Amino acid sequence: MASIKKQESGGWRARVRKGGVSASAVFRTKAEAEAWAARHEHEISARRAGMIPDKTFGDLLARYIREVLPTKRGERPERLRLQRMIDGADPLVSVRLDDIDAEHFASWRDRRLASVSAASVLREWSTLGHACQVAIKEWRWLYVHPMQGVTKPEPHKPRARRISDDEVERILFASGYDYDVIPITAQSRAGAALLFAIETAMRAGEICGMKWSDVDLDRRVVHLPKTKNGYSRDVPMSKEAIRILLQLQGIDAESVFALKAESLDTLFRKARDRALIEGLHFHDSRREALTRMAAKVDVMTLAKISGHRDLRILLATYYAPNMSDVAGMLD
């Protein structure tokens, strides 16, 4: 039987006891608590009836890697996260599916927070959560989401790091990029990619995925058929962005920058370190670009350029104006 009780501290506690098995969790609303209790009772019945397969959570992740990840954009980082978890023999992967519950995931969360940042745990959380969801809806390997009721770690404040003109020039020098010379080497093209990112606010993966067939130099637009959020978008290009593209013509017949995303990240970090610059990521170029563009276009146009469908994320994460500059706009 399930019992639902209101907590003095707020929220609703659902408690399930059936067949000698008990479990409880606290939820924000009574409806959420009732839904969880109903699903949990069903799972207990399914366990007793032998409906949940005799497999471990590691088996679930292996199937997810094999069948689901190939259909997702951004497959590589998710595959690396899950494979690292399996190869490292994290205690969670050995838990049987008919035993797994919120306590196992709470323990996993605490172990990970002891060694990596909250942001890293949240990325892993998202992947594991989706794997469990697929196991419930499509495979019938689970009947209740085992992460439900587990508290997520608090994310850190969004980065506000900006790139100064001096840092850009130092990285370009370290990469061997020259404004007047064709960037033949991969390292120099990484420098060109940084400049292009600051001009367009494009992500590293989008830049590396650019094909000449997607570029319209006359209209000064590059078409991105499919982006991180699954939608296509057209990105306008400044005169400086066009100059960079003209520099790259003839290097590769298909790929504009002739770089893989993982290679660009490695090459950028090498140039950054040689330039003796700390705390800078390639992705910071996106924030720098959008902050500069915000002085030229309205926020709706800015969202169209960046591809953000939620303006709150755009403003909270990527827009970092210098308030001294803003003060000058008020005069």
Residues annotated catalytic, as ranges: 203, 228, 308, 318
Task: Judge residue 190's burial from the number of C-beta atoms within 10 Å of its C-beta, 0-12 exposed, 13-18 middle, 19 or more buried.
Answer: buried
Q: Which residues pair with 96 in a beta bridge?
A: 56
Extract the tokens encoding 60: 């679930």
DSSP codes joined into one string, 188-205: HHHHHHHHHHHHH---HH
Beta carbons within 8 Å of 34's beta carbon, 6+ residues apart: 2, 4, 14
Contact present, 13 and 33 (Cβ < 8 Å)? yes
With tokens 């593209």, the residue in question is: 245
Contacts 24+ apart (CB under 8 A), 18-24: 18/44, 18/45, 19/44, 19/45, 19/48, 21/47, 23/101, 23/102
- Taking the C-alpha atoms of residue 298 and residue 301, their distance in angstroms, rounded to an integer, is 5
- Taking the C-alpha atoms of residue 50 and residue 155, their distance in angstroms, rounded to an integer, is 39
- Taking the C-alpha atoms of residue 265 and residue 286, their distance in angstroms, rounded to an integer, is 14
**Among 297, 304, 311, which Cα is nearest to 233's?**
304
Q: With the C-alpha atoms ordered 251, 256, 259, 260, is the resulting torsion angle positive or negative? A: negative
Other CB atoms closer than 10 Å to residue 74's CB: what's the count? Answer: 12
Extract the tokens encoding 27: 């939820």
